[in-house]
Structure 1
Amino acid sequence: MKSLVQPVILAGGSGTRLWPISTGNRPKHLLEMVGKGTMVEQTLDRVGDPDLFAPPMIVGAASQADDVGKLAPNARLILEPIPRGSAAAVALAALATDENAIMLVLPSDHYITDPAPLYEAVRRGLPAAEAGHLITFGIEPEQPETGYGYITGGDPIGNGVLEASSFVEKPAKEVAEQLIRSGKAYWNSGMFMFSAAAMRRELQRHAPEIYGAAKAAMERASVEGQGTTPDRDALAGCPVTSIDYAVMEHSDRVAVVPVRLSWSDVGSWAAVFDLAPKDADGNVLGGRAHSLGSRGCLVRSDGPEIVTIGVENLVVIATADHVLVVPLSEAQRVREAAELMKRR
């Protein structure tokens, strides 16, 4: 390895999938959802090896600067004055990084029980990243999950590195089953690795409006302490989209590194339930929550005390202002509740 890998942690989520605990003002990466510590702290710990990683960079909302700064006092912060999606966040980071640096882009709200396989995959993918490929880490799937996107691998281009053949966005169950049977499909983890120069080049090819707006925003950025704030007016002209749609699904330089990893994007209350330790009746209870004769429920209250009696397979979440009740099987619809409350 020629130099240390530059971690870039994306911390700009809106918090809707784990509403009402997670909100736009305090999204899940600032909360303790699964495991010990907030999710952004867990991500920082994941890139704490000084023999592999440079000090981290975090791209997140300017409105959360104080909260993130307290959790990451040694990180460089790129503070977005307005949200523009992960494509803009990656563009800002690539422009703020030495062009020869290898960037490891990680969401701040994923849960990984043992990061050792990820470290091995990073080392395995480094030669391809240094050669100008855009690496995506493909999680070897455990079941035909419909809540994840997939990436299929093609011909090998290096030791444990494959050409990326196609992206499939959150397929129907039948399609997911076909992908699993093919033996060539992986969950698209949303974790990427590439040189800053390669990402700048691919942004200019496939998303010139995003690149131009991000470049102007960084050229007119203000710096205070550990934070760099891109120019708001310049950033306002940046299209809102993900790095997958803007670049990864169009570039002919994408490669996939398969990795067997205990990983979750913690994308719903059902995911929180699956990951959390359970009591003798299979319940997950948090905060001021109690259960009598209930089974297979996730019950959490940061507000009033809650007691469930004789119910099964429910999510019951309460704050001082809101109460959510939904079957575990419908947990993916929680975003609809958050949007309903926003419209009120």
Structure 2
Amino acid sequence: MASDLMTIVPVILSGGSGTRLWPVSKPEHPKQLLPLTADETMLQLTAVRTQGFDAASIGRPILVANIAHTDIIDEQLHQIGIDDYQVILEPIGRNTAPAIALAALEAQPDDALLVMPSDHVIADLPAFHAAMAHALPLVKKGWLVTFGITPDGPETGYGYIQMGQPCGDAVHEVVRFVEKPDFANAQTMLAEGYHVWNAGIFLFRADAYLAAMERHQPDMLTAVRTSMTQAKRDGAHVFPDAMAFHACPSDSIDYAIMEREAHVACVPVAMGWSDVGSWDSLHAISARDAGDNAVRGDALLLGARNCLVHSDGPRVTLVDVDDLIVVVSQGEIMILKRGESQKVRKVTEALKALAAATSSN
């Protein structure tokens, strides 16, 4: 049995490539390692997110990251005064279910793992901490708890969680997880109520997660356990065995575990959350001038409205234009209409095809 005062171990998932924010975010330097929303990077903001939470003891954070980012992660954590941490460096990406299992095996069995993506924004930390406190009684009992974002519109870019009966104070049983819907289905779910956005933030005991994986994904657990048993260690760095981890099936925690488990609960919360998944979403959460323009870097805006400018050097001048996204980064320039930033994916795909064609010639 766990003691009354649980230890919460922050588990920060930092394996993403963030290509939807190209050209600023690239696989070798993805968005979580960039100062997109504040002077601190998104990883740094995530790492201090549990400060001030007093309903549980906060343990040493565990990061699960791409081995290529080792040095910059060390540097960024040291910059904010975090020197006691563990980084598990994946030899290859295998999605969130195995990544969390790596952390669960590194933690103590009765530790509560607070699983957080490293590239999200949470503006209202007291609301987040209150939601964590609501989750703890069920976490102690072995439930897997997720946090659902109270929706403010029929968003089609997020998955949804349908909540059912209350099973605690401000906590509901999960009825089902819903794939990213089309606009009509999003509107229907909003009208029905009891639907929240799936933020990919979780709280559960390490042993409860591993037991669920044993029930539903035994091959995955075997591969992850072998990779950790044979891992090499160097100070704060853990290097899972590459051959064993390559053999691990790839799947998300939602598909592999959460949708299959019986005791899954959701805490709905409005906490100023964004996944900063596009230039449009960055515009939405950024400070804006009287013309609703969001600017980072050197820019001169004359009569421009509803624009986003992000420049790492050259001055960008906009005159009497509306609804533009202009990004200047690392010698690349991208201009597109606001509201269409999901098309950045087309750019990164085209660049990959161009690079492949060039290398084959």
The TM-score normalised by the length of structure 1 is: 0.96
- Gap change, CA 1:50 and 1:152, over 3 Å in 2: closer
* Equivalent runs, 1:189-204 vs 2, <5 Å: 189-204=199-214
What secondary structure is seen at the aligned counterpart in 1 of 2:312?
A: strand
Shift of residue 258, structure 1, vs aligned partner = 1.3
Q: Is 1:81 the counterpart of 2:86 in the alignment?
A: no
Corresponding position of 1:4: 7
In the TM superposition, what whole-angstrom CA distance separates every residue of 1:291-324 from its partner, at most 9, and x where no partner exists?
A: 2322111111224332222221111111233222
In the TM superposition, what whole-angstrom CA distance separates every residue of 1:21-79 from its partner, at most 9, and x where no partner exists?
A: 01101111100111231001111111234743212111111111111112223221111
Counterparts of 2:115 and 2:266 in 1: how far apart (Å)?
14
Q: Is 1:181 the counterpart of 2:186 in the alignment?
A: no
Shift of residue 91, structure 1, vs aligned partner = 1.0
Counterparts of 1:115 and 1:106 in 2: how far apart (Å)?
13
What secondary structure is seen at the aligned counterpart in 2 of 1:186?
A: strand
Corresponding position of 2:120: 110
CA contact (8 A) 1:304 1:319 kept: no
Please point out which of 25, 28, 34 is paired with 1:25: 28
Instruction: Give the root-mean-square deviation of aligned CA atoms.
Output: 1.4
Please point out which of 204, 218, 239 is paired with 2:228: 218
Amino acid at match of 1:54: G
Q: Using the TM superposition, name which of 189-198 and 153-162 deviates more.
A: 153-162
What secondary structure is seen at the aligned counterpart in 1 of 2:315?
A: strand
Q: Using the TM superposition, name which of 175-184 and 278-287 deviates more.
A: 278-287
What secondary structure is seen at the aligned counterpart in 2 of 1:154?
A: strand
In the TM superposition, what whole-angstrom CA distance separates every residue of 1:160-200 from its partner, at most 9, and x where no partner exists?
A: 22110011121111111111111110111110011111111
CA contact (8 A) 1:47 1:56 kept: no
* Equivalent runs, 1:88-167 vs 2, <5 Å: 88-167=98-177
CA contact (8 A) 2:16 2:30 kept: yes
Please point out which of 14, 36, 40 is paired with 1:37: 40
CA contact (8 A) 2:113 2:203 kept: yes
Q: Using the TM superposition, name which of 61-70 and 205-214 deviates more.
A: 205-214
* Equivalent runs, 1:260-339 vs 2, <5 Å: 260-339=270-349
Matched positions, count: 344
Counterparts of 2:118 and 2:51 in 1: how far apart (Å)?
14
CA contact (8 A) 1:161 1:255 kept: yes
Percentage of identical aligned residues:
40
Amino acid at match of 2:68: S
Q: Is 1:61 the counterpart of 2:71 in the alignment?
A: no
What secondary structure is seen at the aligned counterpart in 2 of 1:325?
A: strand
Counterparts of 1:289 and 1:242 in 2: how far apart (Å)?
40
The TM-score normalised by the length of structure 2 is: 0.92
CA contact (8 A) 2:24 2:330 kept: no
CA contact (8 A) 1:304 1:320 kept: no
- Gap change, CA 1:45 and 1:130, over 3 Å in 2: same
What secondary structure is seen at the aligned counterpart in 2 of 1:171?
A: coil
Counterparts of 1:279 and 1:34 in 2: how far apart (Å)?
15
Shift of residue 16, structure 1, vs aligned partner = 0.7
What secondary structure is seen at the aligned counterpart in 2 of 1:329?
A: coil
Q: Using the TM superposition, name which of 196-205 and 277-286 deviates more.
A: 277-286
Q: Using the TM superposition, name which of 215-224 and 315-324 deviates more.
A: 315-324
Counterparts of 1:90 and 1:304 in 2: how far apart (Å)?
41
| Structure 1 residue runs of 4 or more that deviate by more than 6 Å after TM superposition | none
Counterparts of 2:143 and 2:6 in 1: how far apart (Å)?
17
Q: Which runs of 5+ in 2 are unaligned?
A: 78-82, 355-361
Please point out which of 186, 209, 212 is paired with 2:219: 209
Q: Is 1:14 the counterpart of 2:17 in the alignment?
A: yes
